[in-house]
Structure 1
Amino acid sequence: MTFSGINYFAVLAAAIAGFAVGMGWYAILGDRWIAALGKSREELLPDGKPPVATMATSFVAELIMAWMLAGLIGHIGVASVSGGVIIACFVWFGFVATTQLVNHRYGRLPFSLTIIDAGHWLAVLVAMGIVIGFIGA
C-alpha cells in the first residue's frame, strides 16, 4: 500500500470542511453537550473560548483523519461524491460509532452525549467524504 497518489489539496480542504462542520455542530449543540458532560461553560471555557492548543489538536487530528479517508477512498477506487459519503459512513459505523459507544458506556456517560459526539463525527466524516470525492482522492 502506498500513499503517494493522495491529493493533498483534497486532504487539506476536507480537514477544513470537517473542522467547520464541527464548529457549526457544537455552536448549535454546545449547551446540550456541556449539560450532558455535567460541566459548566465556565469550567470548560474559563476564558470564554476554547483553548488554542485544543483547537490546534482538533485540526491536526482532522488532517490525519482526512488523509486516512483519502487513502481509503483512493485505494478502494470510489473517488466520487457518493463513494466518499458511503466510505465515510462505513468508517463511522464500523470504527467511530462503536468506539464512542463503548467508551461512553464504560465511562457511564449519558447516552445523549454519545449521540451528540457520534453524530458530530458522522457529520465530519461525511463532509470529508464529500470534499474528497468531489476534488479527488
Structure 2
Amino acid sequence: MQFGGINYLAVLVAAAAGFGTGMIWYMVFGNAWMKALGKNQEDLKPKPAPFIAAVLCQLVMAFMLAGLIGHLGDAQVTLTNGVLSGALVWGGFVITTMIVNHAFQGASRALTLIDGGHWLAVLIVMGAIIGQFGA
C-alpha cells in the first residue's frame, strides 16, 4: 500500500477519522460555535459544497501530514511521534494562522478556541493513525 513512501491506506483512514472527529466536535460544540459565529441554524442550512471541500481538504491534510511524519525516518514513525507531529503542525501553523485571521476579522476568542480546538483534535487523531499505520 505504499508508493513514494506514503501509506495511502493510512492517509484514507486518517482523513476519514479527521472528518469524523469534526462531526463529533461540532455536535458537542455546535451551539457554542454558532453563538461565537453570530449565526443560527437557519443561517447555516446544510449545503453540499462545504462538506465536499472538507473531505477533499482532510485528504490533502492527511497526505501532507504523512509526508512530514515520513521524513522522520522509518524507525521514528510511531504513534507517539505521529501525535507529536500533529500537535507541532497545529501549534506552528494552524492555530497561529487562525489567530491572525480571526484577529483581523474581528472574530471572537470563543470562535478561535472552538475552531482551533477542532483542528488540534483532527491533527492529533490523524497523526496517531499515520504513526500507527506507518507513513
Name the TM-score class by shorter chain. Answer: over 0.9
Name structure 1 gaps, 5 residues minimum: none
Q: Secondary structure at the match of 2:71?
A: helix
Aligned partners of 1:40, 1:82: CA distance in 2, in Å?
A: 39
Residue 9 (str. 1) matches residue 37 (str. 2):
no
Where do 4+ consecutive residues of structure 1 move more than 4 Å? none
Aligned partners of 1:51, 1:133: CA distance in 2, in Å?
A: 34
Among all aligned residue pairs of Structure 1 and Structure 2, give the percentage whose two residues are the same amino acid.
52
How much has 1:33 moved relative to structure 2? 0.5
The one-letter amino acid of 2:8's match is: Y
Count of aligned residue pairs for this structure pair = 131
| Aligned alpha-carbon RMSD (Å) | 0.9
Residue 100 (str. 1) matches residue 122 (str. 2):
no
1:127 aligned to 118, 121, 125, which one?
Answer: 125
- Please name the residue that 1:52 is paired with: 48
Q: Secondary structure at the match of 2:112?
A: helix
Q: Secondary structure at the match of 1:42?
A: coil
Aligned partners of 2:84, 2:64: CA distance in 1, in Å?
A: 15
Q: Secondary structure at the match of 2:86?
A: helix
The one-letter amino acid of 1:133's match is: G
Equivalence map 1:28-107=2 (5 Å): 28-45=28-45, 50-77=46-73, 78-107=76-105
Q: Secondary structure at the match of 1:102?
A: helix
The one-letter amino acid of 2:124's match is: V
Q: Secondary structure at the match of 1:44?
A: coil
Aligned partners of 2:111, 2:62: CA distance in 1, in Å?
A: 24
Name structure 2 gaps, 5 residues minimum: none
- Please name the residue that 1:110 is paired with: 108
The one-letter amino acid of 1:73's match is: I
In the superposition, the TM-score normalised over structure 1's length comes to 0.93
